[in-house]
Amino acid sequence: MSLVFRHSPPADLLVRNAHVLDPRTGLDAPHDVLVRGGLIAELGEPGSLEAPSGAEVLEGQGRHLFPGFVDPHVHLRTPGQEHKEDLDSGTRAAAAGGFVAVVAMPNTDPVVDSAPILRALVEQARREARIPVGFMAAITTGLGGDALTEMAALRSAGAIGFTDDGRPVARASVLRRALQYQRLTGAIIALHEEDPSLSGTGVMHEGHVSARLGLNGIPSISESTMIARDASIAEYEGGRIHIQHLSARESVQAVAEAKARGVRITCEVSPHHLTLTHEALLDGLDTRLKMNPPLRTETDRQALIEGLRDGTVDCIATDHAPHAREEKEVPFEQAPMGTTGLETAFASVYTDLVLHGVLSLGLVVEKLSSGAALMDLPTPRIEVGATAEMCLVDLDAEWEVGEPGYESRSENCCFAGRRVRGRVLATVAAGAVVYRERTFALSAA
Amino acid sequence: MRHLLSIEDLDREAIERICDRARSFSEVSEREVKKVPALRGRRVLNLFYEASTRTRSSFELAAKALSADVINFAASGSSVEKGESLKDTVQTMSAYQPDLIVIRTPFVGAAELVAGWTTASVVNAGDGKHEHPTQALLDVHTIRERFGSLDGLDIWIVGDVMHSRVARSNVLAFTKLGAKVTVCGPPTLIPRDFEALGCEVRHTLDDLGQADVVYALRMQHERMADSFVPSLREYAAVYQIDGRRLAPRQVLMHPGPVNRGVELSAEVIDSAQSLIGRQVAAGVVVRMAVLYELLAGREALAPVPSAPTPQPA
């Protein structure tokens, strides 16, 4: 199954004297990196490599070069909701965040639940996507939770995997069938875990903040009980599942227990759940802080961080969920769930966790691309012979989220107004330069 | 102070100032001509997205008693039914240059949003289950008139705390003024972690005897449908305030409208211990004081007596 994108000319490029950090290849020192025809041709001591004529030179001194990030969970809103995001703007936002591949969710309008819809989308991505995109297809038709989609046909049409993201697969029997069918397709099944009867009409985490604000709460057990259920079903069927956007301590526990007994289960956590809590809502009911699953408590946040450290949590995924301004400029209870995240993923985690000594830079860089393997996609590596998929980052650059505007079509970013450190200066995806930060591009010119 | 969105906008001193001024306004209500020129030429917009009788009429009376002009806007029968957003409605109404907007909506935080969209002062007259600050002020006023002060008073708020904006505002206001507050109700109708508001949580009326003030909340019938309580009969059996449970030294309050025979028995509603009628009366003078507090700071206003002045015979 392949990723699709609009082909750009392969890069001839010299990144000069950047600190190359690739936890997988063990590189952690300044290097010159030469890219020829889109492939990493040579790695050398700083100052040792010459730029061939016609090659672009990126000045890396004092900057870091990472393997490009891969996001297994984004909403590109195409087809049908292009007023929120489209393939061009969404992949531009991804490139600006250092991402070299993203996987788009099927809860579009229409839902990606049949091969013709998926084929049309793949064709469109070949024309419009600036970086490689993979598409998930729905588990059930119309995300209705009842009838399985034609998974074999969808898989042949290019589906990376299957998910009803945005909604849980509420009926255990339906998930069981999907997992039986997985033996045919082999594709990952990704799950948004939530018990609708426990979430009810909740709009935020159930706790002292919701008690104070008079908002209906979504209890942590809404998520964790479904994870426990689905882990048991996957275990029984020998299936493989990926749990999306973990938010609660109890969920980390449920995943850890399932892993311990050998269930083929992986999971992701978002930058906002790693850095924010429900207490942020006490400073004003900002609808950009409304997402599903909701921001939870400090205890939950700490458990997610610990999960990343001990390997229970496999990767960081943004759940980039753009919404138009008028959709979010309404009372909190009426606003749709979701925050954008592609452009702020690295900076938010770096600022709040790495700079505070909570997580190592290497771990964060690794977890920002380890989602690739979970979706059966190639993992970017900085080594000779590999396709160039990398991002150049200035760790010292401080900026205010939203101040330079967004590449995304939407501006509902939960980090808006925060001062963060770490700016992506350039991104190379599929062997081509797909992003140059404005001032950086000007200084290079 | 520019807006009254939450009890958190007020410190103890401000609450007491508003209540003192409300007392001075009670004299106006007793006059034959129930009007003072304090807010003459000011424009007050009542924007109600939810049914209300007493809150809306008391705001209207309060504004008129201060000689302000009042525009009433009800969401039903308006452009809201044609899909106009709250923001557009507020911006449209703002073109009428109101000095103050009173807003009630079923949505938490809506008053705060509105405050960001208009140059007028905004008074929250109820935003979902969040807050109803003027109700809390009139309740504080009623208790002060009876007891002189809330310091050291033991106040029990009984009933459906979960769905009550009155409970939230009152817990905050009562504790700010030195009272000890206990909320009591079915475990299904008290939100998890409600203690964080600074009150005690109980699930039986066993210790109700310690209360100086018993404040009952309205038990809404629609809660049965959601299975929060099995039946009104069961609810009444455990939580109804009746003559047996209410001690003679205690006073009884309720924000209205009362479900007679559910949260309160008829005998206590009609008893001398009931302050319910006084709460309604306080509604007008306290809202006069709130309007005055918010608008008096802006440009010169006609003076208002700081204490009751005797009327010439």
pLDDT per residue as tens digits for the range A15-32: 999 999 999 999 999 999
Cβ contacts of A127 within 8 Å, gap of 6 or more:
A6
% of chain B beyond a pLDDT of 90: 80
pLDDT at residue B300 tops 50: no
Q: Are residues B127 and B140 in the same domain?
A: no
How far off is chain A from B20, nearest CA to CA, in Å? 28
How far off is chain A from B293, nearest CA to CA, in Å? 24
Strand partners, A191: A243
Q: Are residues A33 and A165 in the same domain?
A: no
Interface test with A, best of B5, B9, B108 (most A CBs within 10 A): B108
In the prediction, which pLDDT does B87 show? 93
In the prediction, which pLDDT does A133 show? 98
Q: Are residues A337 and A410 in the same domain?
A: no
Average pLDDT over residues B39-67: 93
Q: Are residues B51 and B117 in the same domain?
A: yes
Domain termination residue (choose one: A353, A374, A395): A374
Interface test with B, best of A298, A299, A333, A334 (most B CBs within 10 A): A333
In the prediction, which pLDDT does B308 show? 47
Q: Are residues B46 and B116 in the same domain?
A: yes
Q: How far apart are CA B98 and CA B70, in angstroms?
A: 9
Tell me the residue length of chain A. Answer: 445
Give domain status of residue B211, yes or no: yes
Among A206, A284, A329, the residue with its CB nearest the CB of B192 is A206
Domain termination residue (choose one: A374, A393, A428): A374
Q: Are residues A237 and A139 in the same domain?
A: yes
Q: Are residues A59 and A148 in the same domain?
A: no
CB A118 within 8 A of CB A159: yes
Give domain status of residue B304, yes or no: no
**Sign of the CA dihedral running A18, A23, A24, A25:** positive
In the prediction, which pLDDT does A444 show? 67
Q: Are residues A260 and A319 in the same domain?
A: yes
Strand partners, A40: A35
Among B112, B129, B193, the residue with its CB nearest the CB of A208 is B193
Q: Are residues B115 and B184 in the same domain?
A: no
In the prediction, which pLDDT does A445 show? 58
Q: Are residues B171 and B46 in the same domain?
A: no
Provide the domain count of chain B: 2
For residue B273, the Cα-to-chain-centroid distance in whole angstroms is 20
- Dig out the tokens for B44 from the structure: 């007050």
Q: Are residues B96 and B107 in the same domain?
A: yes
Q: Are residues A194 and A224 in the same domain?
A: yes
Give domain status of residue B302, yes or no: no
Q: Are residues A29 and A46 in the same domain?
A: yes
Q: How far apart are CA B61 and CA B20, in angstroms?
A: 19
Give domain status of residue A277, yes or no: yes
Interface test with B, best of A282, A285, A297, A327 (most B CBs within 10 A): A285
Q: How far apart are CA B87 and CA B103, in angstroms?
A: 13
Give domain status of residue A380, yes or no: no
Supply the CATH number for residue A395's domain: 2.30.40.10
- What is the SS3 assignment for A6-73? CCCCCCCEEEEEEEEEECCCCEEEEEEEEEECCEEEEEECCCCCCCCCCCEEEECCCCEEEECEEEEE
Give domain status of residue A124, yes or no: yes
User: What is the number of other CB atoms lying within 10 angstroms of the CB of residue B95?
Assistant: 7
Give domain status of residue A24, yes or no: yes
Q: Are residues A151 and A250 in the same domain?
A: yes
pLDDT per residue as tens digits for the range B235-293: 999 999 999 999 999 999 999 999 999 999 999 999 999 999 999 999 999 999 999 99
- Measured between beta carbons, the chain A residues lying within 8 angstroms of B108 are 213-215, 285, 331-333
Q: Are residues A357 and A437 in the same domain?
A: no
Residue B107 structural domain: 7-131+282-296
Residue A162 structural domain: 67-374
**Which range (B75-79, B138-142, B193-197, B307-311) has the least confidence?**
B307-311
In the prediction, which pLDDT does B311 show? 47
Among B85, B87, B197, the residue with its CB nearest the CB of A212 is B197
Strand partners, B274: B252
Q: Are residues B86 and B138 in the same domain?
A: no
What ipTM score was computed for the predicted complex, to two decimals?
0.90
CB B160 within 8 A of CB B189: yes
Provide the domain count of chain A: 2
DSSP string of A139-180, one letter each residue: SBGGG-SSSBP-HHHHHHTTEEEEE-TTS----HHHHHHHHH
Q: Are residues B11 and B90 in the same domain?
A: yes
A283 touches chain B (CB under 8 A): no
Catalytic residue from among A165, A195, A314, A319: A319
Give domain status of residue B98, yes or no: yes
Give domain status of residue B1, yes or no: no
For chain B, the residues whose C-beta falls within 8 A of a C-beta of chain A are: 85-87, 105, 107-110, 112-113, 128-131, 165, 168, 191-194, 196-197
Q: Are residues B59 and B113 in the same domain?
A: yes
Strand partners, A66: A391
How far off is chain A from B130, nearest CA to CA, in Å? 4
In the prediction, which pLDDT does B220 show? 77
Q: Are residues A34 and A157 in the same domain?
A: no
- Measured between beta carbons, the chain B residues lying within 8 angstroms of A324 are none
Q: How far apart are CA A220 and CA A301, in angstroms?
A: 12
Among A211, A285, A329, the residue with its CB nearest the CB of B112 is A285
Give domain status of residue A379, yes or no: no
Q: How far apart are CA A443 and CA B75, in angstroms?
A: 56
In the prediction, which pLDDT does B83 show? 77
Task: Tell me which chain A residue has its CA closest to the CA of residue B190.
Answer: A211
pLDDT at residue B310 tops 50: no
Give domain status of residue A102, yes or no: yes
How far off is chain A from B309, nearest CA to CA, in Å? 41
Q: Are residues A58 and A90 in the same domain?
A: no
Q: Count of A–B CB contacts within 8 Å? A: 60
**pLDDT by residue, tens only, chain A of 445 residues:** 589 999 989 999 999 999 999 999 999 999 999 999 999 999 999 999 999 999 999 999 999 999 999 999 999 999 999 999 999 999 999 999 999 999 999 999 999 999 999 999 999 999 999 999 999 999 999 999 999 999 999 999 999 999 999 999 999 999 999 999 999 999 999 999 999 999 999 999 999 999 999 999 999 999 999 999 999 999 999 999 999 999 999 999 999 999 999 999 999 999 999 999 999 999 989 999 999 999 999 999 999 999 999 999 999 999 999 999 999 999 999 999 999 999 999 999 999 999 999 999 999 999 999 999 999 999 999 999 999 999 999 999 999 999 989 999 999 999 999 999 999 999 999 999 999 998 887 776 5
Is the CB of B107 less than 8 angstroms away from the CB of A333? yes
Q: Are residues B199 and B77 in the same domain?
A: no
pLDDT per residue as tens digits for the range B175-234: 999 999 999 999 999 999 999 999 999 999 999 999 999 999 999 776 666 788 888 899
The yes-or-no answer on residue A319 being catalytic is: yes
Q: How far apart are CA A137 and CA A118, in angstroms?
A: 8
In the prediction, which pLDDT does B313 show? 43
In the prediction, which pLDDT does B312 show? 46
pLDDT per residue as tens digits for the range A173-211: 999 999 999 999 999 999 999 999 999 999 999 999 999
Is the CB of B87 less than 8 angstroms away from the CB of A217? no
What's the whole-number average pLDDT of chain B? 91
A262 touches chain B (CB under 8 A): no
Q: Are residues B262 and B140 in the same domain?
A: yes
Among A207, A208, A213, the residue with its CB nearest the CB of B130 is A213
Is the CB of A215 less than 8 angstroms away from the CB of B85? no
pLDDT per residue as tens digits for the range B93-107: 999 999 999 999 999
Is the CB of B109 less than 8 angstroms away from the CB of A332? yes
Q: How far apart are CA A150 and CA A145, in angstroms?
A: 14
Supply the CATH number for residue A189's domain: 3.20.20.140
- pTM as predicted: 0.94
**Which range (A7-11, B76-80, B138-142, B237-241) has the least confidence?**
B76-80
pLDDT at residue B77 tops 80: no
Q: Are residues B55 and B153 in the same domain?
A: no
How far off is chain B from A213, nearest CA to CA, in Å? 5
Q: Are residues A424 and A316 in the same domain?
A: no
How far off is chain A from B91, nearest CA to CA, in Å? 13
In the prediction, which pLDDT does B34 show? 83
Best CA proximity match to A104, nearest among A136, A68, A59 = A136
Among A206, A211, A326, the residue with its CB nearest the CB of B196 is A211
Q: How far apart are CA A423 and CA B311, in angstroms?
A: 72
Average pLDDT over residues B117-139: 97
Supply the CATH number for residue B53's domain: 3.40.50.1370
Task: Tell me which chain B residue has its CA closest to the CA of residue A331.
Answer: B110
